[in-house]
Amino acid sequence: MLCTTAPSTDACAVKPDIPFVTQQYLMAVGTERLDKESVVKRILVSVFAIMALALTAISPVKADMTELEIIFVKGDQNGDLVLNKAEVLLIAITQFIETDSDRDNMIEKQEIGELSKDKEFSDNDTSKDGALSIEEMIKEKLDDFKTADINSDGVLTIIEVKTFYQNKK
Ligand SMILES: [Ca+2]
Ligand SMILES: [Ca+2]
Ligand SMILES: [Ca+2]
């Protein structure tokens, strides 16, 4: 078909554009494929990063990880890189059981040694009987959780945990 009308009309404007549109379509498909590949790559990279982090946590060589980071990674049961309330309480209860060597469900001063001189221990001991019960500890941890959760989204990031402990010092 010959373009006898002005180039701005449909017949003349669209027809020469077909190869260009096809080209664009192919480019778009190509780009989409690339995007999918890079998404897969990104997922793989983050999986490896998490695995490396987890391996560092259980390895006897602590590498550059602080004790806080190790507790964080170990405590992150579902591996979403944040700690929810249940995960924080599980860490706290596990620590409590490990510390309570005489199994009377109380942390006495002799069970934590030097730490009993810590302000945190006397603070936590709300009944002031010189020992810390599991209830006192859970209450304290839930209060801590609220304070540490700066953006109040119900989970703690490593940054929120670090900030909390830095402020506590
Ligand atoms: Ca988690
Ligand atoms: Ca005890
Ligand atoms: Ca948060």
Of residues 95 and 41, more confidence is placed in 95
Q: Tell me, in angstroms, the distance from the centre of ligand 3 to residue 151's CA.
A: 5
What pLDDT, on the 0 to 100 scale, is given for residue 30? 55
What pLDDT, on the 0 to 100 scale, is given for residue 17? 57
φ, ψ dihedrals at 133, nearest 5°: -85, 165
Q: Tell me, in angstroms, the distance from the centre of ligand 2 to residue 60's CA.
A: 28
Q: Which DSSP category does 78 fall into?
A: T
pLDDT digits (tens, 9 = 90+) for 52-82: 555 545 444 445 778 899 999 999 999 999 9
Q: Tell me, in angstroms, the distance from the centre of ligand 2 to residue 15's CA.
A: 86
CA-nearest of 47, 43, 51, 92 to 73 is 51
What pLDDT, on the 0 to 100 scale, is given for residue 65? 79
pTM: 0.57
pLDDT category, 43, cuts 50, 70, 90?
Answer: low
Q: Which DSSP category does 169 fall into?
A: -
Question: 3-state DSSP call for residue 122?
Answer: helix
Q: Which DSSP category does 128 fall into?
A: -
What pLDDT, on the 0 to 100 scale, is given for residue 59? 46
Contacts 24+ apart (CB under 8 A), 36-44: none
pLDDT category, 168, cuts 50, 70, 90?
Answer: confident
Ion ligand 1 neighbours, Cβ < 5 Å: 76, 78, 80
Q: How far apart are CA 115 and CA 87, in angstroms?
A: 24
Task: Give the helix ranges, DSSP H, for 59-157.
Answer: 67-75, 85-99, 109-112, 119-124, 134-148
Kindly state the average pLDDT of the residues 2-21: 54
- Ligand closest to 164 (CA) is 3
Of residues 40 and 76, more confidence is placed in 76
- Ligand closest to 102 (CA) is 2
Q: Tell me, in angstroms, the distance from the centre of ligand 2 to residue 126's CA.
A: 16
Q: How far apart are CA 161 and CA 169, in angstroms?
A: 13
Q: Tell me, in angstroms, the distance from the centre of ligand 1 to residue 164's CA.
A: 18
Q: Tell me, in angstroms, the distance from the centre of ligand 1 to residue 161's CA.
A: 13
Q: Tell me, in angstroms, the distance from the centre of ligand 2 to residue 110's CA.
A: 9
Q: How many Cβ atoms from other residues are within 10 Å of residue 119's Cβ?
A: 8
pLDDT digits (tens, 9 = 90+) for 106-156: 999 889 887 776 666 666 677 767 789 999 999 999 999 999 999 999 999
pLDDT category, 33, cuts 50, 70, 90?
Answer: low
